[in-house]
Amino acid sequence: MDKLSTKISFVDKKKVWQKILEKIKSQITPHNFRGWFSQAELLDITEEQIIISVPSAFFENQLKARYLALIEDSTEKVTGKKLHIEFKIDLSRLKRADFSEEEEFNLIPTPQTPSTLNPKYTLDNFVVGLTNNVAYAAAQAIVQNPGISYNPLFIYGGTGVGKTHLMIGIGNALSTKNPHFKIIYCSSEKFTNDYVEAIQNRRMGDMRKKYRSADLLLVDDIQFFSGREQTQEEFFHTFNELLSASKQVVLTSDRPPHEIARLEARLQSRFQGGLMVDIQSPDLDTRVAILKAKCSERGESLPEDCLNMIAQSTEGNARELEGKLIQILQFLKINPPEGGVTIEVIRQFFGRQTTSKLNLNHKQVLQTVCNYFDIKNNELIGPRRKKELVLPRHLAMYILSDELNLTVEKIGQILGGRDHTTVMHGRDRIKKLINTDREVQKMYIELKQSLLS
């Protein structure tokens, strides 16, 4: 067919491709069209085939699984011929794909052993969907070529969307690939503390040696570098040294570098010099897939329609989703449905939820808070007003009030005979902080999660 002969110009081929795209567009939702086909670029059309460029294997697999028949069909309609659809992965396109727009942390002691990275977080059990596939592909590229492809990799996104999981997944994958690879994982807060300590103890040499000898440096939540000038200075040098030795650096943050207040311009520009990828809140498909994965990790399974219902009723991030799932599995264990798990049963769960919330007593709440912060019960309910005790105490007040619906008077009693106005103050403080302070939000979500498990 003439239209497709190799002699015709690429401009004309593009027009043919445009027509095919229009056909496809009329068949699927705008969201999916934008998500999947904005990344598919025409490379060539020949007598036999259409070659489409995609930014990652993920796109290739998904396009094939979801839309191959539709692409073939639309192609035939436009060209009058059955053509083979061929995909070519062009990782360099990832770069283009994504330029759109406190205080507890665990440094891995050296020497590094694989087990010091949380083994729960791997690339294999990271569920890939439209909202995180670019970040995932970048992670894969780094595992293939650490220090070469994208340096640094900067992953940003809201809380609970999987940044830490992905980052540690890179670490685990590289440490499997090369057990001698020296990997350091820390939060920006831990880096800061190490720095302060090193200065105080005149051990800067040790600190530098430690961080600058990493083959892979993973720094989590670097938004907390905000305003810490000296730490930033030290990090800048560490960073430069690693980069110039082609050592891989991966950073995460809850926002892109230019939105981090009081972050030195030169650090900002260094961070932007690699690859920046964001992870957004999971869309419905991804939420279902995450639920499915988390279910099978626990050796459980729920019918598809139930998973769908849970995913639909929980808009939030992966962490919340997991929390909700644990709650439901717990509920099913306590109330095993006779006729198996059906949508009705799940509906019942959600109905029940609006009336009573957690099935707990106040002792369990106090115990969980103590365990979480590693403090003793008599410290929690005691009179001391140290900062390390006040926040746990206030969180306990909030949870007792919000989840157990206890009166402020009763909560005061439970917490060592405190006045009800003190309880009101603590409760309201946390209520506010949950929306304004990510650390407190994180603590709260994690506490609730451990209350449920």
Q: Which of 13, 165, 228, 287 binds ligand ADP (CB under 6 A)?
A: 165
**Cα dihedral 321, 327, 333, 335 in deg (nearest 10):** -120
Q: Residue 362's binding partner, choosing from Mg ion, ligand ADP, none, with beta-carbon cut-off 5 to 8 A by kind?
A: none
**Cβ-proximal residues to 361 (8 Å cutoff; 6+ apart), any chain:** 404
Least distance from ligand ADP to the Cβ atom of residue 451, Å? 16
Q: Which of 319, 324, 394, 427 binds ligand ADP (CB under 6 A)?
A: 319
Query: Counting contacts by CB under 6 A, is residue 318 touching ligand ADP?
Result: yes
**Cβ-proximal residues to 362 (8 Å cutoff; 6+ apart), any chain:** 400, 404, 406, 414
Least distance from ligand ADP to the Cβ atom of residue 271, Å? 17
Least distance from Mg ion to the Cβ atom of residue 221, Å? 6
Query: Counting contacts by CB under 6 A, is residue 291 touching ligand ADP?
Result: no
62 versus 223: smaller Cβ distance to Mg ion: 223
State the DSSP string of 207-222.
Answer: HHHHHHT-SEEEEE-G
State the DSSP string of 338-355.
Answer: TT-S-HHHHHHHHHHHHH
Q: How many residues bind Mg ion (CB under 5 A)?
A: 2
Judge residue 229's burial from the number of C-beta atoms within 10 Å of its C-beta, 0-12 exposed, 13-18 middle, 19 or more buried: exposed
Q: Which of 51, 85, 89, 293 binds ligand ADP (CB under 6 A)?
A: 293
Judged by CB under 6 A, the stretch of 125-133, 263-271, 346-354, 377-385 that binds ligand ADP is 125-133
Most distant pair of Cα atoms in the chain: their distance: 89
- Comparing every residue's Cβ against ligand ADP, the nearest one is 162
Least distance from ligand ADP to the Cβ atom of residue 232, Å? 22
Q: Residue 391's binding partner, choosing from Mg ion, ligand ADP, none, with beta-carbon cut-off 5 to 8 A by kind?
A: none
Report the amino acid identity of residue 235. Answer: F
In the sheet where 248-253 sits, what is the strand order? 183-187, 216-220, 248-253, 153-156, 275-278
What span, in angstroms and rounded, lies between the C-alpha atoms of 82 and 76?
5
Nearest to 440 by CA among 372, 384, 365: 372
Q: Which of 162, 169, 323, 426 binds ligand ADP (CB under 6 A)?
A: 162
Backbone dihedral region for residue 133 (phi beyond 0: left; psi -120 to 50: alpha; all else: beta): alpha
226 versus 301: smaller Cβ distance to Mg ion: 226
Q: Which of 75, 112, 133, 164 binds ligand ADP (CB under 6 A)?
A: 164
- The CA-based angle 415-416-417, given to 5 degrees, is 100
Judged by CB under 6 A, the stretch of 13-21, 26-34, 126-134, 381-389 that binds ligand ADP is 126-134
Structure tokens at 271: 């961070």
Q: Which of 20, 52, 127, 134 binds ligand ADP (CB under 6 A)?
A: 127
Site track 159-178 with Mg ion (rule: CB under 5 A), x = hit: ----xx--------------
Least distance from Mg ion to the Cβ atom of residue 421, Å? 36
Least distance from Mg ion to the Cβ atom of residue 175, Å? 19
Query: Counting contacts by CB under 6 A, is residue 126 touching ligand ADP?
Result: yes
Q: Residue 318's binding partner, choosing from ligand ADP, Mg ion, none, with beta-carbon cut-off 5 to 8 A by kind?
A: ligand ADP
Distances in Å between the Cα of 135 and the Cα atoms of 84, 123, 255, 419 are: 30, 11, 14, 49
Least distance from Mg ion to the Cβ atom of residue 41, Å? 33
Strand partners, 251: 154, 219
- Comparing every residue's Cβ against Mg ion, the nearest one is 164
Query: Counting contacts by CB under 6 A, is residue 323 touching ligand ADP?
Result: no
What span, in angstroms and rounded, lies between the C-alpha atoms of 134 and 152?
15
Q: Residue 322's binding partner, choosing from ligand ADP, Mg ion, none, with beta-carbon cut-off 5 to 8 A by kind?
A: ligand ADP
74 versus 131: smaller Cβ distance to Mg ion: 131
Query: Counting contacts by CB under 5 A, is residue 223 touching Mg ion?
Result: no
Mode of pairing for the β-strands spanning 41-45 and 49-54: antiparallel
Give the binding site for ligand ADP (CB under 6 A).
121, 126-127, 132, 157, 159-165, 290, 293, 318-319, 322
Give the binding site for Mg ion (CB under 5 A).
163-164
